[in-house]
Structure 1
């Protein structure tokens, strides 16, 4: 990033940082998680004012901050944790992706949702939210209207689950690791999955994030699968380079930090520092996430896709709940 680019994002990043500091202080002074306070602050600001372009450019960097926080989160995980639960999480994540896509396509077909929109909704709900919507949209040449429709629906559910999921999880009395895996299997986007996990505890947040990252890893496979499915006589099918382009590369950074931390290259102090940095990055990023959930951006969402995705979400979440309570 050049010097001019850095200057261009500084005002927005500074706004995120200031609100992040406020969220951390309120989190210390009240029973509320600073992550939840950060999201609420972001939603409130975005709903109250239209952010000018010179602010928006920096606010949009929250995605990079979130990914960096996820990478650093690897310092707090041990190989024992991954070995004990990892294979089960991978199987569960793969099952949720396959089940979610098939279910979303089937319900959408019955409801009469147009095939392209149906595919975008199924991808977004089954893998990684708006990122999956955009990845699959590029694979099947979806138009802007379809993308906006699907993305708006996904954002609506991101906002709703941020409020509801932690309350339901606490009421069910699940152990923190089990709740975290369930959240990672159920929520659409990485940010909300991490947020609802950390809203309960650090352990729940770690497992929600790890589980969600496993689901995210299927994005390249899904993009190729949909490209083949929607291919026409004159269409092009993406090759290995396209799969690599769409693969969430911060997942590799996360795994790299896990390896470094467990190889003994980081002492306890360094791991604690990285964990603290990760917490701060999450707090600041969640302010931006809240701004991205601006209610005014969700008004174009129609009733039919909401009903389709709601049915898919409830069924997938219910099956995932049964699976985690039996297997974990």
Structure 2
């Protein structure tokens, strides 16, 4: 009961703003999930988030992950299997190209210190701030580098959330092409999900599927960076608690991906009826609504303005290059 009372004010705020977003989305030609983020950002940067509501607002990441798990019920596995090898090759190629390009630009062109460049590369190449934090842990990065990289990634999360659907509308991209492109090249899972479902249900499903495939690389990349940045420390100096290779892979791995795969399997084995799948899809939509309001509430425009121009230019150059080439490849492939 104590926990419930602590979370209730924040949950009420998320739900209240979410309902307003739904009304605005019905009045104006905007998807209600995009409106939810914009509304949350507007409230967070004007009125602010009261201390009483912070605990409940902080649950928005849980609702996002739960919503993604539930969307697994709507994934047609035969369609995914048909495109699977192509998607997997694209994911590996885009992740590798983005990381290498950001590292090269940061170190050679813009003279950014190694840690910051690596965190920018991980955030751009895999899953946004989550990858920044995971790699920062694996290389014991300086807190300033973490803040710098995370703020830059958040800036591009906000920009791409609006820019990608706009580009899709201008170019008239097919839903599947847009979903795959967004899942391959946008940064964080929340904005990818919002942008995908803002275009269509099909685009959203493909965006989430591809993004989760890309997210799965976080463990491998974190371990690789740990090896590259390894210092001469013995197990005794670290208290003998250093995890083995499997532990270091599992620690940063996004656990909700396991739930998503399980729900996909259950739905495609015929264990769920059409009505049940529809109910899960509706529940996911409401959970996304709460999650995206919370995401908006945590965006701080003042922090984004304080980001230096060099990290922004590095990520911008890499994003323009990788997203342009990737879009051409996806259009040719699908």
Q: Return the TM-score normalized by structure 1.
A: 0.96
Deviations 1:218-243 (A, max 9, x none): 00001000000111222777521122
1:115 maps to 114
CA distance, structure 2, for counterparts of residue 6 and residue 89 of structure 1: 42
Q: 1:258 aligns with which of 257, 264, 268?
A: 264
The answer to whether the Cα contact below 8 Å between 1:224 and 1:238 also exists between their aligned partners in 2 is no
Deviations 1:26-65 (A, max 9, x none): 2233321111111111110111023133312211211110
Q: 1:242 aligns with which of 240, 243, 248?
A: 248
Q: Does 1:29 align with 2:35?
A: no
Q: 2:8 aligns with which of 7, 10, 13?
A: 10
Q: 1:272 aligns with which of 267, 271, 278?
A: 278
2:70 maps to 72
The answer to whether the Cα contact below 8 Å between 1:149 and 1:300 also exists between their aligned partners in 2 is no
CA distance, structure 1, for counterparts of residue 141 and residue 47 of structure 2: 31
1:316 maps to 322
Cα distance change on mapping 1:147 and 1:235 into 2, 3 Å: farther
Question: What's the C-alpha RMSD, in Å, of the aligned pairs?
Answer: 1.3
User: 1:92 offset after TM fit, Å?
Assistant: 0.8
Deviations 1:112-159 (A, max 9, x none): 000000100000000000000000000000121111000000001011
Gaps of 5+ in 2: 236-241
Gaps of 5+ in 1: none
CA distance, structure 2, for counterparts of residue 20 and residue 148 of structure 1: 29
Q: Return the TM-score normalized by structure 2.
A: 0.95
SS across alignment from 2:288: helix
User: 1:107 offset after TM fit, Å?
Assistant: 0.5
Structure 1 runs, 4 residues or longer, greater than 6 Å off = none
CA distance, structure 1, for counterparts of residue 49 and residue 19 of structure 2: 20
The answer to whether the Cα contact below 8 Å between 2:49 and 2:297 also exists between their aligned partners in 1 is no
2:238 maps to none
CA distance, structure 2, for counterparts of residue 72 and residue 257 of structure 1: 7
The answer to whether the Cα contact below 8 Å between 1:186 and 1:313 also exists between their aligned partners in 2 is yes
SS across alignment from 1:9: helix
